[in-house]
Structure 1
Amino acid sequence: MPIDAAFARHDMAVLYDSFNIHGNDGDFYLSLPEIPCRILDLGCGTGSVALRFADHGHTVTGLDPAPGMLAVAREKDKAGTVRWIAGDARDFTLGETFDLIIMTGHVFQVFLDDAETLAVLSSARRHLAEGGRLVFESRNPPTRAWESWTEERTRERTEVPGVGPVEVYYQVRQAWEEFVRFDAVFTLLASGERRISESTLRFPGRKIIARLLESAGFSSVTWLGDWDRTPLVPRSPEIIVIARA
């Protein structure tokens, strides 16, 4: 699983955690299991969604390759309710199966070619219990979400514990074919220090995702277009996938 070099660092992961608050998307994922179950959060980051599941009585494992992200997740998990594992979503073996596997925060888009993506989907499929579900989202390419990733439209500010006031904005450096390269620019307002994270995302369409899911062995797929569970249509903001083993 690709690691953003910046978020391998604890100090950058702290900034990420302060700005990435899961609202409607987090509520959607939390609504998926009707009874306590075994959940695997692939690319769990700083653990915000995993911890919400644990608070609701589920048995949760979070897997992420970035040391900084996992360090912040463990700091937040003061009661030790989640099992945190350093690992790569493209190739992992946990020796158990799960009722629900999730990838939140558009993690699916960090895998930049079919081979990487198929490896992730196949690894997830191997770890699903019979009848289990893999659920994730990807931004729908026709809406061209990256066109709004400008300093003027994305600038926001928050108070980061132990750091002080921090401002962030996003700016696209390059967009080509299915790919977008962009920066997250953090400014520590007390000192004026700037910290920049560079990322590249893939924007695969429904047909590509469907083909890869079939190749990975998923038998049934439900397609949604937004967090209110509306069906996927050409101009939906999201491609939300619920794939069954």
Structure 2
Amino acid sequence: MLQGEFRDPRLVPVYDAECPWTREDDYFAAVAAETPGARVLDLGCGTGRLALGLAAAGHSVTGVDPAAASLGAARAKPGAERVQWVEGTSADLPEAAFDLALMTSHVAQFLVEDGPWRRTLADLRRALVPGGRLLFDSRDPADRRWERWNPAGTRRRTELPDGRVVTAWTEVTSVRGGVVAFTHHYLFPDHGELLSTATLRFREERELREGLAAAGFTVERVHGGWGGEPVGAGDGELLVLARAGEGGAGIVGRS
């Protein structure tokens, strides 16, 4: 299920206000810049922050997302006409159409079950040209980030463009193996409290590498932080860059 921040029109502006351009976007943009004028897929593009930035940098960008409310916000932003926006999932991607595919903001972790994860990787392999690259971020489970997601550590106040101030906090509701469920609380001055629940999968580096290999990718590098640090010495991330093989994708197992 999509988080409320992506599908609820009352929460989409909060997501936008809380998530400005950061060094994370710089990291993805730097990889895209290695191929000037690249055909870039932003899968799970949300409200379009990165897609718009890449289009402004001269890339041909397609932003794909299943959340109509997020895409509505993206289409309303300056420069939106430079991006092709698609309401859908990886299953809707054309074949051999992109030089670079991105999944940012830990989109990969929303694919909790192995079946959808394998299918998404296979779809991405199909959508990339031979030798095309896939770059995505996934939190390193060894960092145990979820232990810092608590009301005291995440309480924040966000001012929206219309002047309203929203108070928000996060609480983890379940941890089972590598699967973490949590709830975001948003207290509005006019709507009262709105809740957004989600579940994330924390995959180890080994699991990511195995899934990519099965889908027909070769992993080129894995960074542990946004400054290019090694795994375990950075920001608790697994930043994976892989290249699509020359042949077809691997066999996708049953879910």
TM tier relative to shorter chain? over 0.9
- Per mean C-alpha deviation after superposition, the further-off stretch among 207-216 and 75-84 is 75-84
How many Å separate the matches in 2 of 1:205 and 1:79? 36
Partners of 2:18 and 2:123 lie apart in 1 by: 30
C-alpha change, 1:239 and 1:79, in structure 2 (3 Å) is closer
| 2: CA distance, partners of 1:70 / 1:236 | 29
Residues 108-117 or 18-27, more deviating: 18-27
Corresponding residue of 1:216: 215
RMSD (Å), alpha carbons: 1.7
- Match of residue 47 from structure 1: 48
Aligned-residue offset at 1:169: 1.2
Q: Which moved more, 1:141-150 or 1:18-27?
A: 18-27
Name which of structure 1's ranges 194-203 and 153-162 shifts more when overlaid on structure 2: 153-162
Contact 1:143 1:235 in 2 (8 A): no
- Residue 105 of structure 1 deviates from its aligned partner by 0.4
Query: 1:107-128 deviations in whole A, cap 9, x for unaligned?
Result: 0000012111111111111111
The answer to whether structure 1 residue 128 and structure 2 residue 128 are counterparts is: yes
User: 1 CA distance for matches of 2:38 and 2:191?
Assistant: 46
Report how far residue 7 of structure 1 moved.
2.8
Task: State the match for 1:24 in structure 2.
Answer: 23
Cα distance between partner residues in 1 of 2:236 and 2:146: 12
Q: What does residue 197 of structure 1 align with?
A: 196
In structure 1, the partner of 2:74 is 73
Mapped contact 1:9–1:68 kept (Cα < 8 A): yes
Any stretches of 5+ residues in structure 1 without a counterpart? none
In the superposition, relative to structure 1, how do residues 168 and 140 fare at CA in structure 2: closer, same or farther (>3 Å)?
same
4+ residue segments displaced more than 4 Å = none
**Aligned residue for 1:64?**
65
From the superposition, tell whether residues 79 and 67 of structure 1 become closer, same or farther in structure 2 (CA, over 3 Å). closer
**Stretches of structure 2 lacking an aligned partner (at least 5 in a row):** 245-255
- CA shift, 1:5, in A, is 5.1
Q: Which residue of 2 aligns with 1:85?
A: 86
Counterpart contact for 1:187–1:194, Cα < 8 Å: yes
- Give the CA deviation at 1:6: 5.8
Q: Does the 8 Å contact 2:14/2:158 carry over to 1?
A: no
- What is the distance in 2 between the residues matched to 1:96 and 1:210? 22
CA contact (8 A) 1:221 1:243 kept: yes
Question: Structure 2 CA distance, aligned partners of 1:141 and 1:119?
Answer: 22
State the 1:78 CA deviation.
Answer: 4.7
Q: Normalised by the size of structure 2, how large is the TM-score?
A: 0.89
- Partner of 1:11: helix, strand, or coil? coil
Q: What is the aligned partner in structure 2 of residue 166 from structure 1?
A: 166
